[in-house]
Amino acid sequence: MFRTLLAVTIAGALAVTSTASYAESVATERHQVEITSLTNSLANPWGMAFLPSGDLLVTEKGGQLRRVSLDGAVSQPLAGVPEVVARSQGGLLDVAIDPNFSSNNWVYLSYSEADPDGGEGNSTAVARGKLGNNGLTQVEVIFRGAPKYKSGAHFGSRLVFAPDGHLFITLGDRYSAMADAQTLDNHHGKVVRIKPDGSVPSDNPFVDQANALPEIWSYGHRNVQGAAFHPETGELWTAEHGPKGGDEINIPQPGKNYGWPEATYGVDYDGSIISDKTHVAGTEQPHYYWVPSIAVSNMIFYTGDQFPAWKNDLLVAALKGSQVARLDLHGNRVMHEETLFEDAIEQRIRDIEQGPDGYIYLLTDDRNGQLIQIKPAK
């Protein structure tokens, strides 16, 4: 389906050559779409965020932050990125820009951080810096997951700003520390809510509870790698990796327990039973789940005008099957699921975003990772 062209685009001295591939148009249930690979010059990209200029900031798991234009030009690595633990599932992860970026230039990065005291553990951290022409300055760490733990798995982590300006950070249970997801004295298996400077909002659910970390918003999660705010209700929705089966969509409410690992719709990767329960008193059921798993990554609510029949639908990117699951919503109810793009894209889809142009953009997790544009077919 793909034919390859060489596209050399220069955007100042920092641009590098990009190879772009183009696909024929693809039929979906409601729209005929055109899939275009804008570049395949990204090394295991993980997260992206649009700048007001229309360019993208893109993270690469190895620790590079790049600026990418929609003509396919990819910058050299930007300066100022914190040192990351780039092994297994760890590395430089998500990127977000401040809601007031046009006046303050703050950019936020999540990443796996080594123990600053020299121990063998690591955890998800979030830093912010001011974006200039050559990279980030005034870099400061605003969140460090606790405790530092020796593992290369389940870091989370998406960064998403609420309509009221608070920053939500999604985290993982670190895999072998899954039981920690049920206790409030650590950040494993939690969704966290902080202010942009890292301070704790006074109305967080556990702020006055002894032996609970005040940043915690919800708990009992496994590995949350997708997050978006509903355009009509303003509620946070998340996408969470299950084990073998049991990927979940949740609408995390403050202080609620989402069950992992006491309740799950999946089994361990070797087929062994993690829990024989799908329901446990005092815990919340997933809003929607998949058996078998599709290996969810990020997700968006589509709010643009380019695909009117997808308006306010939830689009969930997935690593397994190189697909996007379109959940047709009526209010909060999932009425129908459609699988998009699985025969057109051959690499795992790590991130999905809506551009200011109303098109949909995907990142693929590969050594030759692609930035893909989805637009209506002509």
pLDDT, averaged across the chain: 94
Q: For the residues 245-267, what does the mean pLDDT come to?
A: 98
Question: Is it the case that residue 16 has pLDDT exceeding 80?
Answer: no
* pLDDT tens by residue, 118-162: 999 999 999 999 999 999 999 999 999 999 999 999 999 999 999
Question: Is it the case that residue 79 has pLDDT exceeding 70?
Answer: yes
Alpha-carbon separation of residue 147 from 143, 194, 290 (angstroms) = 12, 18, 31
- Residue 101, judged by CB atoms within 10 A of its CB (0-12, 13-18, 19+), counts as middle
CATH of the domain at 74: 2.120.10.30
* pLDDT tens by residue, 269-314: 999 999 999 999 999 999 999 999 999 999 999 999 999 999 999 9
The pLDDT, as a whole number, for residue 2 is 39
Q: Give catalytic residues, as residue numbers.
A: 154
Range of the domain at 225: 3-376
* pLDDT tens by residue, 332-371: 999 999 999 988 998 999 999 999 999 999 999 999 999 9
**Domain total for the chain?**
1
- Give bridge partners of residue 192 from the DSSP assignment: 169, 216
The one-character DSSP state at 309 is: G
* pLDDT tens by residue, 36-68: 999 999 999 999 999 999 999 999 999 999 999
Q: For residues 110-135, b (16+ Cβ closer than 10 Å) or e, as one string?
A: bbbbbbeeeeebbbbbbbbbbbeeeb
* Amino acid at site 9: T
Question: Is it the case that residue 8 has pLDDT exceeding 80?
Answer: no
Answering whether pTM is above 0.75, one says yes
